[in-house]
Amino acid sequence: MIYLKTSVGIELRGEDMLLSSLQANFSGGAFTHFKRIANYQACNKEDLKREINQFFKSNGLSKDHVVLGITRKDILLRYLDFPSEVEDNLKQVVQYQVKSFEPTEESNYYYDHVLLSNNAATKKLNVLLAMVRKTFLDEQLQTLREIDIRPMAVVGSSMGLTNLFIQNQKDLNDKTLILADLNSSGFELVAVHNGAFAYSREAPRESGQSWSDALLREVSEAASRMRLASDSALEKIVVAGESSESALEEIKTGIPDCELLKNSVGFTMTDETKEHIQEASSSLGLAYTGMARRPFIKMNLLPSELRVRQTRWAYVPTVVLGLAIIALLGWAASYKIVINQRIYKKLDAESHGNNRKVKAVNDLRGQLEELDKKVKGLEDLIGKRDLNLDILKELTEILPPDTYLNNFINRDGVITLVGLSGSSSDLIQKLDQSPYFKDVVMKAPIRAQGEKDLFNYELKLEK
C-alpha cells in the first residue's frame, strides 16, 4: 500500500510514552502502527532513542510530521469574551491578556488561541486560550530532542482526541457531546456544546467509587458550568483510554447510552492496531490533528521559532507539481498532433460530402481551436515564475536568528516586511546588501515590544 501522507502522534501519558501513526492516500486514512513505551523517563537515553528510531525506520515512518500531546493537568485553559470590534487585532488583544496571567518571570507561558464563535446578536467574540508553562514545555521538548524527535506541533492530548471524535459527527448545532478519557486513576471529561469546545476538566476517581458514579458526578458539574437547561439532553457519551473497555459494563449500569470511541472512528485498521484503538485514542487523535486540513480545534503551543523547519523534502510537492505540468503539456502537444492527423484524414475523405458532414468537420476544427487555447494557457502558466519562494528563502538566510516576520506582502515587486527583532538596527544594512533587494525604507518608527523591536520596512526587488 502506497500512502501519500503520514503523521505520528506522541502522547506523554503519565510515566508512559504512546506513539500512533496515521497514514492516508486517496482512498482514506489508516491507523497503521502503535507502540507504548512504559516508564520512558527511567529508560537509558540511548536505548530509548534506539527503540524509537527502530519504530520509525521499520515501519517506514517520517519524523517530519510529529505532533506532541500534553495532558490536561499541564495546560491552563481560559474562556475569554471580547467585543467583536477587536476581531482584526485579536492576536494582540490575546497577547495582552496572557501578560496579565504572568505575574513573575518564572510564570511565563507559551500559548495559542482559537476563536470559538462570533455572536452577532451580543457582539461578542468567544475565545479559547490555552497556555503551558515555558519551563515545563521546554523540558519536554529537550527530552524529545535528545532522542531526535522535533515535533511540528504541540497540543493538548484531549484536543487531539476531540478532533478524532468529531471527524464523523454530523451537524453539531444544538447538541451536547461528552467524551471521557479514562486512565487507571481517573479521567478527563470533555464537552462539545453547540459546535464548540465548551468544557474540559481532569477529575480523579475516588477510592471505592464506581465509574458510573464518577462520570455522572462530572457530567453534572459540566452541565452546571456550561449552564445547560435542565431539560437539555446529552446527544452522546463516549469513552476512550486504556481503562475504557474494562469499565464499559460498569459504566452502563448508570449510563446505558454510553459507547466506546472505536465505534466512532472511521479509519481502517490492522488486526493488531484494532486491539489498541482505545488506549491509543489520544495519540491517534494527535496524529489526525497533524494531518487534517481543517481540524475541529486548530491550536499549536509550540514556540513560533520552532514551528517552521524547511528541509529538502519541503520542495518535493513543488517538483512533483512541475513534473506533472510538464507531462500534461507533453500529452497536450501529442494529443494535438493526433487530432490534427485525424482531422486532415477526415477532411480528405469527406471533402465531397453533404452539409451534415461539412458541419461535422467545422465542429472538429472548433475542438482543435479550443485545444490550442488550452495548450497556450498551460504554456503561459508554466512560463510564469513565482519569486515568492526565492524571496522567502533569501530572507531566511540574511535575517538574524532572533528575527521573525509577522507579515510579508509582495505587490508587483514592492515588498512590505513587518516583524519583531532583537537586532533591528542591523536589518536595513543586511537587506541593502542582498542582491535581491534595493531602496529599503522604514515605513513606521521602530517600537519596543517586550524584549524585541517591532519594525515595518518597505523595499523593492532588484530583479
Which architecture does CATH list for 388-461?
A: 2-Layer Sandwich (3.30)
425 vs 30, more confident: 30
List pLDDT tens digits, range 320-360.
656 777 777 777 777 778 787 778 777 777 666 666 777 77
The reported pLDDT for the residue numbered 230 is 58
Bigger pLDDT: 326 or 142? 142
Q: Which three cell numbers stand for residue 28?
A: 482514506
Q: Is residue 297 classed as helix, strand or coil in its secondary structure?
A: coil
What is the average pLDDT value for the chain, to the nearest integer?
Answer: 85
Contacts of 179 (CB under 8 A, 6+ apart): 158, 161, 162, 165, 189, 190, 191, 192, 237, 238, 239, 240, 261
Contact 33, 22 (CB under 8 A): no
- How much is the pLDDT for 229? 63
Q: What is the pLDDT of residue 169?
A: 82
Give the whole-angstrom CA distance, residue 21 versus residue 286: 9
User: Is the model more confident about 374 or about 209?
Assistant: 209
Q: How far apart are CA 313 and CA 422, in angstroms?
A: 30
Contact call for residues 417 and 457 (beta carbons, < 8 A): yes
pLDDT grade for 315, boundaries at 50, 70 and 90: very low
Superfamily of domain 171-264: ATPase, nucleotide binding domain (3.30.420.40)
- Average pLDDT, stretch 237-253? 92
- Ramachandran angles phi, psi of 382, nearest 5°: -70, -25
Residue spans per domain, the chain: 1-168+266-309, 171-264, 317-383, 388-461
CATH 3.40.50.450 fits 1-168+266-309, yes or no: no
The per-residue pLDDT for 354 is: 64
312 has a pLDDT exceeding 60: no
* Closest by Cα among 208, 202, 213 to 255: 213
For residue 279, the model assigns a pLDDT of 93
pLDDT score, position 362: 80
pLDDT single digits (tens) 398-453? 888 888 888 888 888 899 989 998 887 788 888 888 888 888 888 888 888 888 88
Fold agreement (1-168+266-309, 388-461): no
pLDDT at 383 over 50: no
